[in-house]
Amino acid sequence: MLSGRARLTLLLIAASLVLTGALASSADAEVTASQITSPADPTLPPLVKQPLKATSSQTLTVSGTTTTNDANASDTVELGCFYTGVEGAKKETVLKKVNGEALTIPVSTLDGSFTTSEAALEGLLHQQPCMLRAVPPATPETASVTAFAGPRLGDAGIATVGTEASKLTDDELSTTTLQGYWLWKSAGSCGPSSNVFEPSSFQRAVPPIFHCAATLSETTELKEPSIVVDAHNGYAVAAASTINAGAVGQPFLELGAPSFNEATGVLTQTETEPIVHCEKAGGEPVDVPEPTSAECVQFASTGVELVRTVTTGEGGLQATVTDELKSTEASGAHTITLRYREQQGGIEPSYKFPGESAFKRYKATESAPTGSSAPETVYFQASEESAEPESPHENPRGAITLSATPTAVKFAGPNAFELVYSGQTVPASGALTLTQALSQTRAAEPPTLSVASPVSGTTVSTSTINVSGSASGNFGIASLSVNGSAVTVANDGTWSTSVPLSSGANTISAVATDNAGKTTSRSITVTYTPPVTETPAGKTPPVETPPSSTPVRARASLSGKVTGTGGKVAYTLACVGTAGERCNVTVTLYTVERLRAGKLLGLTASQKTRTKRIVLASGTLSIPAGLRVNVSVKLDATGRKLLARFGKIPARLSTILSASAGAPAETVVAQNVTITPVKKPKKK
């Protein structure tokens, strides 16, 4: 029998064990899963000034729910943004408070919910998308976090360089979407740089695709002046600041307020900067490469200013740089030469310039083809000898589409070239405009192609059918054919054509080819069942003539492409039939006004728009069988006024073959076309 002291000792031990067990149970309580319900997926935070300071008040409000292994226990979570690093390892950026303190969020013991408004935006990794997750504190980067769901986050920001808002010498903007990022400074500093991400892991491609594109710095790498105005070396603002910051006449940037769409990640900004030249104290121009501050003691206006607009788009896969060179003197035009620096990622990328059939490498001082017409596109890839040529991380690719053909293309090194525009004219009024569309892609993905109408398996009773769809690609569409016949693709990617049918099942095949040589094809099946004609009693039923033999009546078809240049629409119609027959067609060209509150906002070719349709031209045409006729549809007075006002007209072209020989009217052409004005000859 135990003594009283022994029983007390055992009781104390038992109590200690019970207490220890309770502590162990509390320590084991942990969040095993979570779902962030706000913000939504995906989220691009508002444009903020970067780099953010520790005192910034920019925060992200986050809330969600959790699952724990002990519903009665108290617990916390931390916010981590997860992605895959360039080397392939899992990475995490832990969000903190704006003052830099650790951010741990308590989880409600009632329903497992959590919320905070203290997650600092500067905690997000710059130029890197990631997936935000609420995880247990101190979760290892290598741990599996699939049970912790949350939104995908991007990034955007702006920074400026200067002593005050009215004396800015440079700026920097960036936007990071789920597919890619763009970062650029002012024209005289560094143009757009970029990269792309693998869609699910956000792993960044290596090397980057663009690095300082469309740059007009102090001099080029070939030691040529980037800007020459009226025979004197010119400098943009950042370049002038590099030569002699604070000199008399130092120019400054005028920045327009950036526009940022948080839903799409599209960021647009316009900068205006005077182009200046160097002078000695007495006003004598200094035209030497890379002048020193002792040589360049003051700046003077060249009479030209640069207005640059950069816009990102296509989900982060494209940026457009538009430069407008304007005269600041009402009575004077100027002669200007520009040398744009274009640098790509990779040690020795390969290029394909206009007229070249394959990618090749270039060395410093070598020249490349300039092409003969614009717009034209230059393609490049990081490594043509990659073990995985389609890998986004071993062989990222890009393209530059130019609005004007350069005078020369010269290489400054194996991964950088200069676009030279010599002897251009900056008019006394208006502007000299040069545009570069920069495209980046994760790999040489084939173009996308769809056949929207008709649906495969459709049965019709007419011998022709209108087939329409859309085509697009990161490298643009070089050609599209339907059953072997070329079809024009409109600016918005849509296409339409008329296809003749044979009795029975017909396979209609469309093939799209991009400018990198990649193709995509789509096929549908349409069955043509000729209408049955009732035969009176005692009469012999007529024998149907297959469409492959002599047609019942002459039929018209589109031959080649439809163009809309020079203020008119031009195309070719072919009439097939027996001698003596004719194809009588009616041609109508129209556009649709986009109105708001009775005010004309613009034009469209869309037939779905419930606004006013404006006929631009109409008429009839009779084509003898066996002939091809070039049709030219000129705009009427109303059309010419609209063209002058908007600079181009999206229109709808309709060509209908009149009913004859008991056959109904047929649509020959139903296609969108963009009409542009007559090009004015360049002044010599």
Write the burial class of residue 639 (CB in 10 Å: 0-12 exposed, 13-18 middle, 19+ buried).
Answer: buried
Banded pLDDT at 547 (limits 50, 70, 90) = very low
3-state secondary structure of 191: coil
Task: Out of 191-195, 226-230, 377-381, give the one with best mean pLDDT.
Answer: 226-230
CA distance 127 to 172: 13
Provide CATH 2.60.40.10 ranges for the chain: 445-530
Q: What is the pLDDT of residue 554?
A: 84
pLDDT for the residue numbered 149:
95
**Residue 664 is encoded by which pair of tokens?**
């109904």
Rounded mean pLDDT, 202-212: 87
More confident residue, 391 or 60: 60
**Residues 101-157 pLDDT 10s:** 899 999 998 889 999 998 987 777 778 999 999 999 988 988 999 999 999 998 888
Asked whether residue 228 carries a pLDDT value surpassing 90, the answer given is: yes
Structural contact between residues 477 and 450, judged by C-beta atoms closer than 8 angstroms: no
CB neighbour list of residue 418: distance below 8 Å, 6 or more residues apart: 220, 221, 222, 224, 339, 340, 341, 342, 409, 410, 411, 412
pLDDT of the residue at 12: 32
Contacts of 291 by beta carbon, 8 Å cutoff, 6+ apart: 243, 278
Residue 86 pLDDT level (bands cut at 50, 70, 90): confident
CATH topology for the 553-684 domain: Immunoglobulin-like (2.60.40)
Q: Give the CATH H-level superfamily of domain 445-530.
A: Immunoglobulins (2.60.40.10)
Q: Is the per-residue pLDDT at 536 higher than 90?
A: no
- Quote the percentage of the chain above a pLDDT of 90: 42
d(CA 326, CA 274) in angstroms, rounded, equals 10
10 Å Cβ neighbour count for 90? 15
In the chain, DSSP finds a helix count (H) and a strand count (E) of 3, 46
* ∠ Cα 433 257 254 (to 5°): 60
| Rounded percentage of the chain residues whose pLDDT exceeds 70 | 86
Check: pTM over 0.85? Answer yes or no: no
pLDDT digits (tens, 9 = 90+) for 316-370: 888 999 999 999 977 689 999 999 999 988 778 899 999 888 889 999 999 999 9
Average pLDDT, stretch 558-584?
87
Q: What is the pLDDT of residues 60-75, one digit of tens each?
A: 899 999 998 776 667 8
Q: What pLDDT is recorded for position 14?
A: 34
* Average pLDDT rounded to a whole number, residues 147-176: 89
DSSP H helices in 587-627: none
Condensed to tens digits (0 to 9), the pLDDT of residues 269-306 reads 999 999 999 999 989 999 998 899 999 999 999 999 99
pLDDT band per the 50, 70, 90 thresholds, residue 207: confident
Task: Give burial (CB, 10 Å; 0-12/13-18/19+) of 19.
Answer: exposed
Nearest Cα to 406, choosing from 394, 392, 422, 417? Answer: 422
DSSP notation for 16-44 = HHHHHHHHHHHHH--EEEEEEEES-SSB-
Residue that has been written with the tokens 């290892």 in this structure? 140
Q: What is the largest CA-CA distance in the chain?
A: 131
Beta bridge partners of 657: 585, 666
Q: What is residue 684's predicted lDDT score, i.e. its pLDDT?
A: 54
The Cα 208–Cα 666 span in angstroms is 53
Residues of the chain within CATH 2.60.40.1930 domain(s) are: 553-684
519 pairs with which residues across the strands?
513
